[in-house]
């Protein structure tokens, strides 16, 4: 969840998806996404959907083809949608965005500020 302020995207909250999980994939159930959207409209949740997050424990930082397709589905909520991937084993993370003409690209670290 987040907002766009002063030409910057601020991510200020996360909402767990109650995902359907296997060893190699996870899914944000459509029913859960519909509930989150309804909660936003009803004012129960502040902000807007600005992307999604998941982990690749021990596999490094990358977006699979499925991840890129998922990213583009979140693009419908905001042209500033992001994908966050963390690797809890290495302690690293990466953020991907969609850039016109280039597609989904990893955001350079100097564009990321954690406060």
- Is 82 inside any structural domain? yes
Kindly report, residue by residue over 22-79, the tens digit of the pLDDT: 666 667 778 888 888 899 999 998 888 888 888 888 988 999 988 888 888 887 777 8
- Is 95 inside any structural domain? yes
Kindly report, residue by residue over 84-112, the tens digit of the pLDDT: 999 999 999 999 988 888 888 998 888 88
- Is 79 inside any structural domain? yes
Pairing of strands 82-87, 92-99: antiparallel
- Is 28 inside any structural domain? no
Instruction: Give the count of domains, the chain.
Output: 1
- Is 22 inside any structural domain? no
The residue segments making up the domain with residue 76 are: 50-109
Is a pLDDT exceeding 90 seen at residue 7? no
Q: What is the pLDDT of residue 21?
A: 65
- Is 115 inside any structural domain? no
- Is 33 inside any structural domain? no
Kindly report, residue by residue over 31-45, the tens digit of the pLDDT: 888 888 899 999 998
Spatial neighbors of 41 by CB under 8 A, at least 6 apart, are none
| First and final C-alpha spacing in the chain | 16
- Is 40 inside any structural domain? no
Q: Which pTM does this prediction carry?
A: 0.81
């Amino acid at each position: 969840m987040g907002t766009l302020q002063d030409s910057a995207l601020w991510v200020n909250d996360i909402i767990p998806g109650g995902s359907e999980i296997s060893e190699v994939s996870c899914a944000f159930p459509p029913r859960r996404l519909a509930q989150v959207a309804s909660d936003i409209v009803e004012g129960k949740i502040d902000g807007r959907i600005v992307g999604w997050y998941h982990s690749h424990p021990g596999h490094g930082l990358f977006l699979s083809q499925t991840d890129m397709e998922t990213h583009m589905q979140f693009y419908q909520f905001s042209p500033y949608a992001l994908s966050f991937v963390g690797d809890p084993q290495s302690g690293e993370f990466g953020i991907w965005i969609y850039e016109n003409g280039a597609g989904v690209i990893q955001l350079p670290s100097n564009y990321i500020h954690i406060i």
